[in-house]
Amino acid sequence: GCLFTSVTWTVLLFIYFSLSQDSQPFRNVPVPGSHPLGYQHRFQPRFTRGPGRELHPPKVERRQQPHEAPVANRKAPNLSPEMGMIFNEQDQEIRDMGYHKHAFNMLISNRLGYHRDLPDTRNEKCKEVTYPLALPTASVVICFFNEAFSALLRTVHSVLDRTPSYLLHEIILVDDNSELADLKEDLDSYIEQNLQGKVKLVRNEERQGLIRGRMVGAAHATGKVLVFLDSHCEVNEMWLEPLLAPIKQDRRTVVCPVIDIISADTLVYSPSPIVRGGFNWGLHFKWDPVPPSELNSPNGAVAPIRSPTMAGGLFAMDRGYFDELGQYDSGMDIWGGENLEISFRIWMCGGQLLIIPCSRVGHIFRKRRPYGSPGGQDTMAHNSLRLAHVWMDEYKEQYFALRPELRSRDYGDISERLAVRQRLKCHSFKWYLDNIYPEMQVSDPRNKAQQPVFVNKGLRRPKVLRRGRLRNLQTDKCLVAQGRPSQKGGMVVVHACDSHDAEQVNWTYDEEHEFILAGMLCLDVSEMRSSDPPRLMKCHGSGGSQQWTLGKNSRLYQVSVGKCLAVLDPLSHKGYVAMAICDGSLAQQWRLED
Ligand code: LR7
Ligand code: MN
């Protein structure tokens, strides 16, 4: 089996390298200078782009780990558009099953293995900052439910690979009663064989959700500081010291790294701009630009930034302080709301919450959550309701104005949480708004229209690189919309080329690697069902399903699906096209011509 695997990998890598040629035009694409306002949605960061962006070369030879993915794999450039290439049915299955179960490209995640080098996304000045040698030790708590094995192990190994061992007290994995066989069967022995010592695995006998799950992890921890991470993260160079130093200075300081973006479709790691946490009256977390008054260092953000809220998954906090502050609300279920709850609590009860620009941790941003709650409840609403009733005083009316149906909804017993607020003699919510989040707009709750929203449209238009018609070399036909070119969800087909047909010559290919027809809709392939034919969809600007490369070898390669656009049956007048395994055949060759 082992021999077979290595032979297979050698063959795959050979094919992979020989096919990698058309990624060349996109190398050295600079990191876009991103403005925080470009951050439109937490699951659709807008500012990262560019398949095949040149990654930094490895700085140190990494330790050889005994039980990891095929060795040759690690030598591969860890990212190029071809990383998601589908070679056979098994690849296809891994990819589709991965999207279905995890909502990200598990094929690429598996190919990356458990270790990879990352671009150092810190500001240059961070490299000059020095930290005290004596810092408190950290217990890293990672709670997971049905996580992809490779993503979980890459999270764990990134911590082991990039944390000085004298600072890493332990890693505590909390399995929140996952159902996946590999997590149930292989994880123990993997830990036993490879991670003995630093990594502890705790299993919940019943699904608790991430909030109680983290409390379980914290209860097992014995290090001085708790560091929470999601189970699909990768920590970057020198990530921990900048988090520990401010806690050492003041134990009531809670810190978050900058959360870099790992693309769900390509697994490309790219930097986030420096933004801070806010929220809206729907009690959803959002990113805000940092007000100039909060930018503590004159040129570029290096110094800590006060943040009204945290995203939730990635932060460090003194363990004693975590207990003193009331841990979490154990009445909250599965997912949602705990991030705002702990943020309000930190500020209102005498602590502070900081974002540390020199600490970088990547997180896979998915477009949907791949799991629900056991009973199908809306746990976000339940949890938000609890936090509103405990912490928001009269301002909970702002929430109810948007969610009137929740006004009378039962939210369980909150007496223990009210007692926490009493015991800690916390400030009012008005104090929090006035002093910590003055940017928040408060409207008369009877006028529900006033939700602060970000306007992103028109801020940035990708530059058009080429335009013209897309001619298929086998059939000599051109790619057109099957119906009206403005019809969302419409299919594309090939049709006799006609230079008088304005629509045909109206394809544009832009710097975001999008193919746009008639300036309106983007050529898009469903990531969930990559065997569906491509369609014309609203351009979402976040790469993935709308990201294509057209190389010298004339193939129209879909980056996120790992396949090429092909004419299905060259003799049929129907002109159907589909995504197919790239084989270099004429049916898969296209020319974009004036
Ligand atoms: O029942 C569950 N049990 C779990 O153990 C459900 C989830 N989990 C685990 C899960 O496997 C994962 O490791 O909990 C972790 C977080 O769940 P995600 O990754 O589904 O959450 P998210 O990244 O979609 O959502 C963000 O908001 C959540 C609100 O409850 C949590 O605070 C997440 O930690 C948080 N993630 C981040 O802050 C990362 C950056 C995202 C942004 C912006
Ligand atoms: Mn997450």
DSSP structure string for 504-538: TT-EEEETT--EEETTTEEEE--SS-TTSPPEEEE
Q: What distances in angstroms separate CA 378 from CA 373, 374, 409, one per listed residue?
A: 8, 10, 12
493 CA to middle of ligand 1, Å?
41
Distance 291 CA to ligand 2 centre (A): 27
Does the CB atom of residue 210 touch ligand 1 within 6 A?
yes
CB 333 within 8 A of CB 294: no
ipTM of the complex model: 0.99
Which atom number of ligand 1 is nearest to the Cα of residue 287? 43
pLDDT score for 190: 97
Closest ligand 1 atom number to CA of residue 176: 5
User: Which residue out of 216, 230, 378 has the highest number of ligand 1 atoms within 8 Å of its CB and is therefore the one to mutate?
Assistant: 230
Cα 231 to averaged position of ligand 2 atoms, centre (Å) = 7
Task: Answer yes or no: is the C-beta of 341 below 6 A from any ligand 1 atom.
Answer: no
> Atom 32 (ligand 1): residue with closest C-alpha?
312
The CA 335 to ligand 1 mean position distance, Å, reads 7
* pTM, full prediction: 0.78
Q: Which ligand is nearest to the CA of 286?
A: 1
Q: Which ligand is nearest to the CA of 148?
A: 1
Residue in 335, 360, 379 to alter for ligand 1 test, most ligand atoms within 8 A of Cβ: 335
Q: For the chain, which domains are there?
A: 124-435 (3.90.550.10), 464-593 (2.80.10.50)
Q: State whether the beta carbon of 207 lies less than 6 angstroms from ligand 1.
A: yes
Tell whether ligand 1 has an atom less than 6 A from the beta carbon of residue 260.
no
Residue 538 CB–ligand 1 contact under 6 Å: no
C-beta 484 within 6 A of ligand 1? no
pLDDT score for 76:
30
What is the structure's pLDDT at 526?
A: 82
Does the CB atom of residue 351 touch ligand 1 within 6 A? no
Q: Whose CA is nearest to atom 1 of ligand 1?
A: 209
pLDDT in tens, the chain (594 residues): 444 455 555 444 444 443 333 333 222 222 332 323 232 222 222 222 223 222 232 223 333 333 333 333 333 334 677 889 999 999 999 999 999 999 999 999 999 999 999 999 999 999 999 999 999 999 999 999 999 999 999 999 999 999 999 999 999 999 999 999 999 999 999 999 999 889 999 999 999 999 999 999 999 999 999 999 999 999 999 999 999 999 999 999 999 999 999 999 999 999 998 889 999 999 999 888 888 888 876 656 799 999 999 999 999 999 999 999 999 999 999 999 999 999 999 999 999 999 999 999 999 999 899 999 999 999 999 999 999 999 999 999 999 998 999 999 999 999 999 999 999 999 999 999 999 999 898 876 555 444 333 333 334 578 899 999 999 999 999 999 998 888 899 999 999 998 888 888 889 999 888 999 988 899 999 877 777 899 999 988 877 789 898 888 898 988 878 889 999 988 888 999 998 888 888 999 999 988
Query: How far apart are the CA of 144 and the centre of ligand 2, in A?
Result: 10
- What distance in Å separates the CA atoms of residue 130 and residue 133, rounded to the nearest whole number? 9
Provide the pLDDT for residue 299.
Answer: 55
CA of 108 to the centre of ligand 2 (A): 18
Q: How far is the CA of 41 from the centre of ligand 2 (A)?
A: 14
313 Cβ inside 6 Å of ligand 1: yes
CA angle 117, 118, 120 (to 5 degrees): 130
Spell out where 393-443 has E strands: none
Q: For position 486, what pLDDT does the model report?
A: 85
Q: Could you tell me if the CB of 63 is within 6 A of ligand 1?
A: no
Distance 365 CA to ligand 2 centre (A): 7
Centroid of ligand 1 to alpha carbon of 318 (angstroms): 21
- Of all ligands present, the nearest one to the C-alpha of 257 is 1
* Closest ligand 1 atom to Cα of 228: 34
**In angstroms, what is the span from residue 202 Cα to ligand 1's centroid?**
18
Residue 552 has a pLDDT of 81
Residue of 145, 176, 276 best suited for mutating to test ligand 1, as the one with most atoms within 8 Å of CB: 145
pLDDT of residue 153: 98
Distance 470 CA to ligand 2 centre (A): 39
| Cβ of residue 334 lying under 6 Å from some atom of ligand 1 | yes
Protein residue with least CA distance to atom 28, ligand 1: 336
Q: What is the DSSP letter of 400?
A: H
Query: So what's the pLDDT on residue 500?
Result: 84
DSSP 406: G
**Residue 363 Cβ < 6 Å to ligand 1:** yes
CB of residue 335 inside a 6 A radius of ligand 1: yes
209 Cβ below 6 A of ligand 1: yes
User: d(Cα 4, Cα 132) in Å, to the nearest integer?
Assistant: 50
- The pLDDT of residue 475 is 94
What is the whole-number distance in angstroms between the Cα of residue 312 and the centre of ligand 2? 9
In the 3-class helix/strand/coil scheme, how is 532-571 assigned residue by residue? CCCEEEECCCCCHHHCEEECCCCEEEECCCCEEEEECCCC
Helix or strand run (H / E) with residue 141: strand 138-144
Taking a C-beta distance cutoff of 8 angstroms, is the pair 141, 174 a contact? yes
Residues sharing a CB contact under 8 Å with residue 42, sequence separation 6 or more, in sequence order: 285, 286, 287, 311, 365
Ligand 1 pocket member 213 (CB < 6 A): yes
Question: Which residue's alpha carbon is nearest to atom 11 within ligand 1?
Answer: 144
Tell me how many degrees the CA angle 527-85-554 measures, rounded to the nearest 5.
100
User: 226 phi and psi, to 5 degrees?
Assistant: -95, 135
Q: How far is CA 15 from CA 9, 10, 154, 294, in A?
A: 10, 9, 25, 51
Q: Distance from first CA to last CA of the chain, Å, rounded?
A: 52
CA distance 65 to 44: 34
Which residue do the tokens 């193919």 mark?
515
- Classify residue 334 as exposed, middle or buried by CB count within 10 Å of its CB (0-12, 13-18, 19+): buried
Q: Atom 10 in ligand 1: which residue has the minimum CA distance?
A: 144
Q: Please indicate whether residue 40, judged by its CB atom, sits closer than 6 Å to ligand 1.
A: no
